[in-house]
Structure 1
Amino acid sequence: MKILIIEDHKDLASNITDYLKKEDYVCEVASDAKEAIDKIELFEYDCILLDLMLPDGNGLDILKHIKNYAPGASVIIVSAKNSLDTKLTGLDDGADDYITKPFSLPELHSRIKAVLRRKTPEANRILSFNEIKIDLESKECRINDQLVNLTKKELNLLIYFINNQNRMLSKQAIASHLWGDYTYSIDNVDFVYQHLKNLRKKVLDAGGKDYLQTVYGLGYKWIDK
């Protein structure tokens, strides 16, 4: 899961990022409205944590921008403003939840999990592709009903490929999805290859088919052979 943290308080943004990364989220930070809008227009996020008071803009204006450019992203307003009117305005404008500063990081994580569950009905929590089944809640992968021990990166990579089957994915896009948008400033992302190699081997060892196709010079495709 990929999260954008829109927060100008550097220490708070860093604490949230460190905590959520330990829970296996990919986190990006925007410290002002301009940076937030740029990221929302360029990249996809599962959940956005939105501060209302930014040095160069109003968070409620950014919320409207999110609803236009990223309607599928869940939004949790994280603000020191505790008035009922502000909360109602944020929720009426499309936010999924509202948490008031100060808050505990475990509570914030629970709120994130709750809004993401609401976006993923129980019937859709099992991602299936032929002999491969992934429980998106428990993070378990089974191939031919056999439990497969995947690392967090390998599991996220497999989900990413299945959700984008038949699409050519560049190494840069894969790196960005797994490690964050900062990888766009890295010239060499060949480290992606080792994760692909390990994932392919584990799928084959469990009796799965080889769905991963290399598009030489461009990237990779997950295709139903």
Structure 2
Amino acid sequence: MKRKTASFTGMRPIFTGSPSIVQGGFNLDVEGQKFRVGDVVPAGTLAIFNETTRKVQVIKIAKVVEVDNENNKKVTLYVDEFYAPCFAVGDSVLKVGAVTGTFASAPTITAIDNGNCLSNTGNVYVVTLSAAITGLKAGDVLTEVVKDSSNNAVERGKANSVLFREYEVSEFETGVDVSADTMQYALYERRVPPIPSSQKDSTGMFLSANPHVKLTQSY
């Protein structure tokens, strides 16, 4: 299968200073999640690291740019010159704020088109869903969902860290570093993939599962 991928590397920092990195190193959990070899997981992506397994799962999420008028199962997702979504065919997705119903009823991604380069705007990233999501519109946010113990669809989990930089998915092990403590610094929230309110504390300034990761709305 032919596939065009692109790196969204840039000089734009995602932290206001140098945060702490969790020691020991981790591998991307390619068994617990689906990934496409050669794709790039963006810097600043919310992550869940496990110090026992030494594996990291990420929160796959993206903002909707457009829902096709003629085929509402085709959804264009936001990209820029610094990052793009990292969904894979077979991922189940729902709209953030409306994650309900059984896991079996959640639409899955059946195709991904990110092969058309546009100057100054990165790649086009269009997903085709197995079923339309009622009421989905531009500005909404899609997130990967998983199955809970009652076979209901739920968000993957609460992030306890963020990816320190972007990582290209390897055919073999993909080593990643995460930050679980931004110290006196903060993550530029507007420079990374969307961070839903469900992942933040009541103030919106920290991750709810790890208050040592501070967020800032500054540019």
User: Whose strand fraction is larger, Structure 1's or Structure 2's?
Assistant: 2
Same fold, judged at TM 0.5 (above): no
Question: TM-score scaled by structure 1?
Answer: 0.26
More helix per residue: 1
Give the structure, 1 or 2, with the largest relative contact order (CA under 8 Å, sep 6 or more): 2
